[in-house]
Chain A
């Protein structure tokens, strides 16, 4: 059954690597539109595999994955690529900026692959993350926090329904972590659905719900009453 206010619905998601390694074992999970989910768990628990599958970067071995009501497990490789660029914004722990493109060009790159590059819009996106004065800086001329904010501006430039982040503050100091998390909180208030993998309980505490993975299973779900109340 497709529920209209669900951004993500995962049913019986299983992923094998080879014949023996089971990264995800019949995982089922639903995420409401505008909800912020923090995924936690030890290394090798299946968090990143889960994120890769819902971001259309990987395919499951079994199960259904409905993003905005569409079962992405039935899409071809080309359809997955199209779906990813139109629906998903990705934020990486390692930032993954193109080293020879400056900040605004890195943002424009996502526009270019989506539809058409618009420099003015890309500048605005950088201004929204507090980098209006750093648009022409190369990644090597930016601090880690600034690079992550460029990565965020890039992820948000095409207004994706789903913002997926894999340890977005894993490489940042406390000051930059606060800056980046403030941006996530602003986006949540704007109604973005956020799914974030993190090891940091403090950051997970900002989410509406914490989902714990272990050995490819969802072992616990904790609702954050305070965060949900703030959002409400």
Chain B
């Protein structure tokens, strides 16, 4: 009988219940999106770092500017040595310098062009990426630099560093969505000659497996084997990112909380109106012998259905939002999380319960004798 009463009651008040559910669905969907992303963002961020290939950054220990602010290229052999053998997958040395191209200041990076494509797989290079390693002429130009200096493919351009001038040819244009787009990449040897820093590199990106040894232990080994360098685990960078993410999550949580409060108010107003409309009905139920508990049970079931229905729909909607954000921001899908479902459901139930309690308590106090007289 309870099912019949609930079914008929729902059908009778479709529009009002739809409004109540919609408000909870909105709040719940935001909670679902937030929790799904919160659980997935750190993992996605770390997988992105892994996709970068490099997880240890080797830097000169001395402050920049001094002669020792470079790492001797000859020392890089240690990274291929037996001490680190099973762990190091590969490494790419970089030498940075500020140069002038057509009178504009640009950051030039000397890299080993044959390895950078492997350690930086997220680079999108147009123009076939003919790096011309042998001649040292080829240059990969960041998209922003190419646009600013009108450097089209195959165009030759002069690079001035101090009094040294060298000519390169655009072999590719790189898009990364990051700082690389405002840089120019040339062969390491060519950059060393241009900057008169033969045999020196500014930093080394190292790709290491995390399985055989912890990264912290590897970085210690590198510092011991290569005096004058500092080996930073990229996790430090990840933790800095995590702090930023934490702030973004806090903002999302605040917005979700505000929307949930608004949902609670909508539920409060909807349920109050509904119970006012149904005062005679409640009075009649009591006159027919329904205990307060039975009345609460009937209305509680309605509230429960609204809460659970909104929680499930909100979760599905929220998951789709998280999926969309995941694809747009991280270029990957977000995995469904049972914990996110539980948190969403709990939020929907909580907000519906809190919003429904005052009108429900009022319903319990309805005097059947008065309401049946129309008072």
Q: Which residues of A does B touch, CB under 8 Å? A: 48, 52, 55, 57-58, 78, 81-82, 84-86, 90, 92, 94, 96, 98-101, 105, 108-114, 117, 154
B4, B285, B292: most-surrounded residue (chain A CB, <10 A): B4
* Contact of A81 with B289 in the complex, beta carbons under 8 Å: yes
* Contact of A57 with B289 in the complex, beta carbons under 8 Å: no
Residue of B nearest to A97 (CB): B284
Give 4 nearest A-B pairs by CB, closest first: A85-B289, A100-B12, A117-B1, A57-B369
* Contact of A113 with B285 in the complex, beta carbons under 8 Å: yes
From A84, A96, A109, contact of B5 by CB (8 A): A109
Is B294 part of the binding interface, using a Cβ–Cβ cutoff of 8 Å?
Answer: yes
State the majority secondary structure of interface residues on A: helix
Q: Count A/B pairs, Cβ under 8 Å.
A: 66
* Contact of A57 with B8 in the complex, beta carbons under 8 Å: no
Complex Cα distance, B124 from A99, in Å, reads 67
Note all chain A residues with C-beta closer than 8 A to B285: 109, 113
Is B359 part of the binding interface, using a Cβ–Cβ cutoff of 8 Å?
Answer: no
From B4, B5, B369, contact of A52 by CB (8 A): B369
Near A by CB (< 8 A), chain B positions 355-375 give 368-369, 372-374
Is B288 part of the binding interface, using a Cβ–Cβ cutoff of 8 Å?
Answer: yes
Q: A108-B1, A112-B1, A117-B1 are in contact. Are A96 and B291 (CB under 8 A)?
A: no
Note all chain A residues with C-beta closer than 8 A to B9: 100
Q: A48-B373, A98-B281 are in contact. Are A114 and B289 (CB under 8 A)?
A: yes
Note all chain B residues with C-beta closer than 8 A to A113: 285, 288-290, 294
Complex Cα distance, B285 from A108, in Å, reads 12
Q: A175 to chain B: closest CB distance in Å?
A: 26
Residue of B nearest to A101 (CB): B8
Complex Cα distance, B296 from A77, in Å, reads 16
Complex Cα distance, B298 from A100, in Å, reads 15
B4, B281, B287, B288: most-surrounded residue (chain A CB, <10 A): B288
* Contact of B369 with A101 in the complex, beta carbons under 8 Å: no
Residue of A nearest to B368 (CB): A57
Q: B9 to chain A: closest CB distance in Å?
A: 6
Note all chain A residues with C-beta closer than 8 A to B287: 55, 57, 84, 90, 96
**A–B Cβ pairs within 8 angstroms, 15 of them:** A78-B292, A81-B289, A84-B287, A84-B289, A85-B289, A90-B287, A92-B372, A96-B372, A98-B284, A99-B12, A100-B9, A105-B8, A108-B1, A108-B4, A113-B289
* Contact of A90 with B288 in the complex, beta carbons under 8 Å: yes
Note all chain B residues with C-beta closer than 8 A to A82: 289, 291
Note all chain B residues with C-beta closer than 8 A to A84: 287, 289
Residue of A nearest to B369 (CB): A57
Is B155 part of the binding interface, using a Cβ–Cβ cutoff of 8 Å?
Answer: no
Is B11 part of the binding interface, using a Cβ–Cβ cutoff of 8 Å?
Answer: yes
Number of interface residues of B (CB under 8 A): 25
Is B280 part of the binding interface, using a Cβ–Cβ cutoff of 8 Å?
Answer: yes
A99, A101, A117: most-surrounded residue (chain B CB, <10 A): A101
From B2, B4, B284, B288, contact of A85 by CB (8 A): B288
State the majority secondary structure of interface residues on B: helix
Q: A227 to chain B: closest CB distance in Å?
A: 28
Note all chain A residues with C-beta closer than 8 A to B280: 96
* Contact of A58 with B369 in the complex, beta carbons under 8 Å: yes
* Contact of A86 with B289 in the complex, beta carbons under 8 Å: yes
Q: A115 to chain B: closest CB distance in Å?
A: 10
Complex Cα distance, B108 from A3, in Å, reads 112
From A81, A105, A111, contact of B286 by CB (8 A): A81
Q: A57-B368, A96-B280 are in contact. Are A154 and B288 (CB under 8 A)?
A: yes
Q: B288 to chain A: closest CB distance in Å?
A: 5
Q: A114 to chain B: closest CB distance in Å?
A: 6
Note all chain A residues with C-beta closer than 8 A to B294: 113
Complex Cα distance, B295 from A78, in Å, reads 13
Note all chain B residues with C-beta closer than 8 A to A98: 281, 284
Complex Cα distance, B369 from A76, in Å, reads 16
Near A by CB (< 8 A), chain B positions 271-304 give 280-281, 284-292, 294
From A48, A96, A111, contact of B284 by CB (8 A): A96
Complex Cα distance, B293 from A78, in Å, reads 10
Residue of B nearest to A81 (CB): B291
Note all chain B residues with C-beta closer than 8 A to A111: 1
Q: B285 to chain A: closest CB distance in Å?
A: 7
Note all chain B residues with C-beta closer than 8 A to A85: 288-290
Residue of A nearest to B294 (CB): A113
Note all chain A residues with C-beta closer than 8 A to B288: 85, 90, 109-110, 113, 154
Q: B289 to chain A: closest CB distance in Å?
A: 2
From A81, A99, A108, contact of B290 by CB (8 A): A81
Near A by CB (< 8 A), chain B positions 1-51 give 1-2, 4-5, 8-9, 11-12
* Contact of A100 with B291 in the complex, beta carbons under 8 Å: no
* Contact of B12 with A109 in the complex, beta carbons under 8 Å: no
Complex Cα distance, B288 from A55, in Å, reads 10
Q: B283 to chain A: closest CB distance in Å?
A: 8
Note all chain B residues with C-beta closer than 8 A to A108: 1, 4
Residue of B nearest to A102 (CB): B8
Complex Cα distance, B374 from A98, in Å, reads 15
Note all chain B residues with C-beta closer than 8 A to A154: 288
Complex Cα distance, B285 from A85, in Å, reads 10
Note all chain B residues with C-beta closer than 8 A to A94: 372, 374
Complex Cα distance, B375 from A52, in Å, reads 14
